[in-house]
Amino acid sequence: MDTSLISKLEASDSVGISSLFSHHLRSFSDLKNLKKTKKATSSKDEQSLARSLAKSFLPFLNTSLSIIPKRLAEPSKFGSEQLAVEFFDIYRLCLDCLESISSQLDCKPHTVQAQRVRMVHCLEAWARWKEAKEESLRILESVSSGAKSAKSKRSLLPVIGEGSADKSLGLLIVEIVVTLVKCASMDQSKGCEDFRRVLLLVEEARPWFRVLDANTYEKLHRVLVSHLGRCTLLIFGEFTIVDDDLARDFCFTTIGEHAKSITKDQIYKFARRLCSSLFALQDSRSALITDILIGVMDSLAHDGKVEIEINAMEFVELVAYCANKCQAKGPDICNAIGVHLNKIADDFNQVKTPFCLILRVYAKGLLFMHFKLKSRCNDRTSSGGVIKFLCDSADILKNLSCLLCSLGSYFHVGCQNSCASSSDDFKDAICLLCSPCISHNEARTRWNHKDGKAYLMSYLTALKYICLPLAELVNSEKKEIIIGSEAAAVSSQLSDIQVVLDQFCDVFTFSK
């Protein structure tokens, strides 16, 4: 073993060492040339030469491959950029030499590829993202071509075998997949093909994740989720990918992986950032915005991330944020999100908490905004002034009045029996709590649990959301409402608006 070269590897500054290594390992060129030969005797000669090279150079290669990654792992302590380039060249040369004699080694399958993964991590440490991506793809190609299970034409990863899977191979594959996702996010790739490849990799890696032990799974999946989220925000933020199908698929994949994450503390932070990016998109992409908002809310609500008494308040806060932002995006998105919030509330209706009722307040507020915005746009079906508008909104206002009666009863705040006059089936779903049998003490006990104050403040925020457009309507159109010839026709609606405004005042006073 050439100890002088090893000493240079360990030295703090060894510029020019790359050419010395190339000269020292020049004998491997003979093996490379022999592999290209198609003569019948070449295979036997190849094996003989490989054995000779292994005997002569294996200790040197092993020592070099032990030193190089340790030195490259800390860029701040390494030295010049030029020296790093040389070290990576040497790293690749040593790995190529090791791979060329791997048939003579008594080692586990994929040992050399595992060494290459270590080099990829060094490339990551130096933020050499393009090189890390290219090397990772080469590793996957090598692993896939040598795997027992054949790939499909579309696949990037080998298909996991039935029964017991190779855990070491699973770890290698998952590490490379996570690295490729990280490269896409950190290199800020603007190509649609890079993001499509990420989607395919994540899909194909799912069964390989399952062969990992719990700790390794959690560690690698957390990194995967983090960089998927970063990619998603890049797609909707800086790059604004125009392929809506790709953007939609990427978003749903990211949310789905977030939902499966063992650590759930980041999902609402990510959802808020995603929604913020969505609302920054142009109005012409309102269909995409609507689809993804609904998808995000469904995933949070139905994939086990809304747990009453644990994180329901976070969901309500996200809904409040979206409801306010929807107003600037037009009537259609208000209507779609309002209708869907009612569906989500239906799924939680059996839970005796204010959670689903507050969701319904926002749903009714959004549906009211739908009517109001269409009226402002002079839609033909909404013509006829404020009287016609109030007549069209009669069901929403009546159901809202009934809904607030239920919430008022829950908190024992200004409860009125206005819901008794509701003429549709809606009152049966939302007035379960509005009952004479709820005593003052029972109602007080119900909301006075650890989240009671938070629920009350969320209710106040929801009331403010619906009261602002109602107050604006009454103030701006009070002349027509008071002296209009058809004003008597909307007396019931005005009474319902009064109930809403009174409830806001009562809750505001009660919350002090």
What are the pLDDT digits (tens) for 96-108? 999 999 888 888 8
Chain segment 449-499, per-residue pLDDT in tens: 556 788 889 999 999 999 998 888 888 777 666 665 566 667 788 888 888
Angstrom distances, CA of residue 342 to CA of 160, 261, 335, 345, 366: 42, 27, 11, 5, 11
Domain count, the chain: 3
Give me the domain span that covers residue 448.
Answer: 406-415+433-511
**Average pLDDT of span 379-385:** 51
Mark whether 184 and 136 lie in a shared domain.
no
Q: Is the CB of residue 183 less than 8 Å from the CB of residue 177?
A: no
Residues 494/396, Cβ–Cβ less than 8 Å: no
In a domain, 161, yes or no: no
Domain co-membership, 1 together with 132:
yes
Contact yes or no for 337/290 (Cβ under 8 A) = yes
Of the pLDDT bands very low, low, confident and very high (cuts 50, 70, 90), residue 374 is confident
Q: What is the pLDDT of residue 355?
A: 86
Domain boundary among 246, 275, 303: 303
**142 and 177 fall within a common domain:** no
CA 52 vs CA 45, 94, 111: distances in Å: 11, 16, 20
Q: Which one of 286, 303, 320 terminates a domain?
A: 303
Buried b (16+ CB within 10 A) or exposed e, 115-154: bbbbbbebbbbbebbebbbebbeebbeebbeebeeebeee
Within-domain flag for 14: yes
Does residue 427 form part of some domain?
no
Q: Would you say 61 and 104 are in contact if contact means Cβ atoms under 8 Å apart?
A: no
CA torsion sign for 83, 88, 91, 96 is: negative
**Overall pTM > 0.75:** yes
What is the Cα–Cα distance from 472 to 466, expressed in whole angstroms? 10
Q: How far apart are CA 195 and CA 201, in angstroms?
A: 10
- Point out the domain boundary residue: 303, 324, 354: 303
Location of structure tokens 């012409």 = 284
pLDDT single digits (tens) 335-366: 999 999 999 988 877 655 788 889 999 999 99
pLDDT of 18:
92
Same domain, 121 and 224: no
The 10s digit of each residue's pLDDT in 4-53 is: 899 988 886 777 899 999 999 999 988 877 766 655 556 777 888 889 99
Which positions ≥6 away from 440 have C-beta within 8 Å? 412
pLDDT tier for residue 205 given thresholds of 50, 70 and 90: very high
What element of type H or E holds 323?
A: helix 312-326
In a domain, 396, yes or no: no
In a domain, 376, yes or no: no
Q: Measuring CA to CA, how many Å separate 95 from each of 118, 223, 236?
A: 11, 27, 40
- pLDDT of the residue at 264: 67
Dihedral through CA 468, CA 472, CA 475, CA 479, nearest 10?
A: -140
